[in-house]
Amino acid sequence: MKIIVLGAGPCGLGAAYHLDKLGHNSWQLFERNSNVGGLSASFIDDKDFTWDIGGHVLFSHYTYFDKAVAEALGDAYYEHQRESWIRILQTWVPYPFQNNVRHLPTEALQECVEGLRKLQGDPSQTTNFREWMDTIFGSGIVKFFMEPYNRKVWGVVLETMSKEWIAERVSVVDLGRIERNITEQRDDLSWGPNNTFKFPKQGGTGAIYEGIARPLGDRIHLNHEMVSIDPDAKRVSFANGRVEPYDVLINTPPLDLLVAACCALPETVRAAAENLVHNSGLIVGLGIEERRDDSKCWMYFPESNSPFYRVTNFHNYSPFNVPGGDTRRYSSLMCETTYSSYKSVDKADIVDRTVQGLHASGMIDGPQIQRIVSRYLIDIPYSYPVPTLGRDGALSMIQPWLESRDIYSRGRFGAWKYEVGNMDHSFMQGVEVVERLFAGGNEPTLNGRV
pTM, entire model? 0.94
The residue ranges of DSSP E strands in 160-254, in sequence order, are: 196-200, 220-221, 226-230, 235-238, 243-245, 248-251
Task: Please state, in angstroms and as integers, the Cα–Cα distance from residue 365 to each residue in 184, 253, 357, 434, following that order.
Answer: 34, 41, 11, 52
> Strand 372-380 relative to strand 331-339: parallel, antiparallel, unpaired?
unpaired
Domain assignments of the chain as residue spans, ordered by start: 3-41+205-277+387-439, 43-57+194-201+280-383, 97-184
What is the fold of 3-41+205-277+387-439? Answer: FAD/NAD(P)-binding domain (3.50.50)
Q: Tens digits of per-residue pLDDT, 49-77?
A: 999 999 888 878 899 999 999 999 999 99
Which alpha helices (DSSP H) does 245-324 contain, by range? Answer: 255-261, 267-272, 314-317
CA 38/CA 295 separation, integer angstroms: 29
Question: For residue 281, which of 339, 223, 233 has the smallest C-alpha distance?
Answer: 339
Question: For residue 371, which of 385, 388, 386, 358 has the smallest C-alpha distance?
Answer: 358
CA 371/CA 39 separation, integer angstroms: 29
* CA distance between the termini of the chain: 28
What's the DSSP call for residue 23? T
Which parts of the chain register pLDDT below 50?
168-169
Distance of CA 368 to the CA centre of its chain: 29
Task: Please state, in angstroms and as integers, the Cα–Cα distance from residue 52 to each residue in 41, 57, 83, 253, 334, following that order.
Answer: 6, 10, 19, 19, 8
pLDDT number for residue 168: 47
> Strand 42-44 relative to strand 50-52: parallel, antiparallel, unpaired?
antiparallel
Q: Tens digits of per-residue pLDDT, 131-175?
A: 999 999 999 999 999 999 999 999 999 999 999 888 544 556 777
Task: Please state, in angstroms and as integers, the Cα–Cα distance from residue 231 to each residue in 7, 29, 266, 406, following that order.
Answer: 18, 18, 12, 8
CA 15/CA 219 separation, integer angstroms: 12
Question: For residue 277, which of 335, 347, 338 has the smallest C-alpha distance?
Answer: 338
Question: For residue 343, which of 153, 159, 165 has the smallest C-alpha distance?
Answer: 153
Residue 372 backbone phi and psi in degrees, to 5: -70, 120
What's the DSSP call for residue 41? -
pLDDT number for residue 387: 97
pLDDT number for residue 191: 56
CA 236/CA 230 separation, integer angstroms: 6
Distance of CA 297 to the CA centre of its chain: 16
pLDDT number for residue 167: 59
Q: What percent of the chain has pLDDT over 70?
A: 97
Q: Could you give the angle at which helices 423-439 and 10-22 cross, rounded to 10 degrees?
A: 40
Three-state DSSP class for residue 121 = coil
Question: For residue 392, which of 450, 449, 338, 446 has the smallest C-alpha distance?
Answer: 446
Contact 3, 247 (CB under 8 A): yes
Contact 235, 242 (CB under 8 A): no
For the stretch 327-345, what's the b/e string if a residue is b when 16 or more beta carbons lie within 10 angstroms of its beta carbon? beebbbbbbbbbbbeebeb
Concatenated DSSP letters for 349-409?
Answer: GHHHHHHHHHHHTTSS-HHHHHTEEEEEEEEES---EE-BTTHHHHHHHHHHHHHHTTEEE
